[in-house]
Amino acid sequence: MKVVLFCGGYGMRMRNGDDDTIPKPMQMIGPRPLIWHVMRYYAHFGHKDFILCLGYGAAHIKNYFLSYQESVSNDFVIRGGQVELLQSDISDWSITFVDTGPESPIGERLRRVKPFVEDEEYFLANYSDVLTDAPMNEIIDEVRESGAAASMLVVPPQSSFHCVDIEGSGAVTGITPVSRLPIWENGGFFVLSNEVLNMLTEDCDLVEDVCGALAAQGRLHGYKHLGFWKPADTFKERAELDAGYARGDRPWMLWEHAKDAVPEFAVT
């Protein structure tokens, strides 16, 4: 199943003053950029045909894959001057790079890559800035069975803020952590039918305009996920994920724990 990745925004909340030219998907989590972790997650479930919706910082993303070094995250042997990889990350991936504009909203980015997915009954989509251990193939099966035109992963609120109940007089009557409220938020992992493509208009928003319309029709499915889910939308969040990687706390890296994984061998 094809995977559309939206990776063309400016990522203003990710800026830390070091190098503001590096786009958010190229911020590092361990030895690999964020976008690699997202793609590797999908590849774990067998979805290895990617369409990258580029915009700001497109050259960084293109150059990374054009000069990709498998040895960074794979074991290898040097024998007779030749490098023999003991595993491979992306040798069986297909990656399509499409310039969708630096200012385009998500819906417009999807509209511009319509020719690459319009023959698919369903396809996957992601913001490229969040990691999870959600069971993607179970989600796909659930969406198919529901007959919905689209689905989004929904997760409990992640905010550390508190909601305050207050009377007109100013008296506070209650304080509740946002995380305890009976609400769900968009988790950024979508399963979309090709019907969605016909709903896209110029400069539309995927969630508010398209998903909102489907929700009003009762044709949007929400998959509730209570497991690991963490965005990398800010520098702090990215740093927390990087720290987790360093100490071995990597619940999103399902491929590391696959019991039935068979090493792939390649020679470069």
What is the pLDDT confidence band of residue 20, given thresholds at 50, 70 and 90? low
Q: Is 241 helix (H, G, I), strand (E, B) or coil?
A: helix
Of 64-78, 114-128, 195-209, which gets the smallest average pLDDT? 64-78
What is the pLDDT confidence band of residue 74, given thresholds at 50, 70 and 90? confident
| Cα 253 from Cα 42, distance rounded (Å) | 10
pLDDT of 200 higher than 90: yes
Of 14-23, 63-72, 139-148, which gets the smallest average pLDDT? 14-23
Closest CA to 101 of 93, 110, 92: 110
**DSSP string covering 176-222:** EEGGGSS--EEEEEEEEEGGGGGG--TT--IIIIIIHHHHHTT-EEE
pLDDT over 90 percentage in the chain: 68
| Cα 203 from Cα 157, distance rounded (Å) | 28
Q: Would you state the pLDDT for residue 81?
A: 85
pLDDT in tens, 80-108: 888 888 888 888 999 999 999 989 999 99
Contact 184, 156 (CB under 8 A): yes
Q: Which residues of 176-194 are buried (b: 16+ CB within 10 A; e: fewer)?
A: eeeeeeeeeeebbbbbbbe
For domain 2-155+183-267, give its CATH number from 2.60.120.10, 3.90.550.10, 3.10.150.10, 3.30.420.40: 3.90.550.10
**What is the reported pTM?**
0.86
The DSSP letter of residue 251 is T
pLDDT of 3 higher than 50: yes
**Residue that wins the pLDDT comparison between 182 and 171:** 171
What sign for the dihedral angle of Cα 194, 150, 135, 236?
positive
pLDDT in tens, 39-57: 999 999 999 999 999 999 9
Mean pLDDT across the stretch 194-200? 96
Q: Would you state the pLDDT for residue 264?
A: 45
pLDDT of 166 higher than 60: yes
Closest CA to 39 of 63, 61, 10, 15: 61
CA dist list (Å): 45 to 136, 167, 225: 7, 51, 17
| Cα 189 from Cα 240, distance rounded (Å) | 21
Q: Would you state the pLDDT for residue 147?
A: 93
Backbone φ and ψ of 168, nearest 5°: -60, -30
Domains of the chain by residue range: 2-155+183-267
Which two tokens mark 245? 């990687």
**Residue that wins the pLDDT comparison between 182 and 24:** 24
pLDDT over 70 percentage in the chain: 91
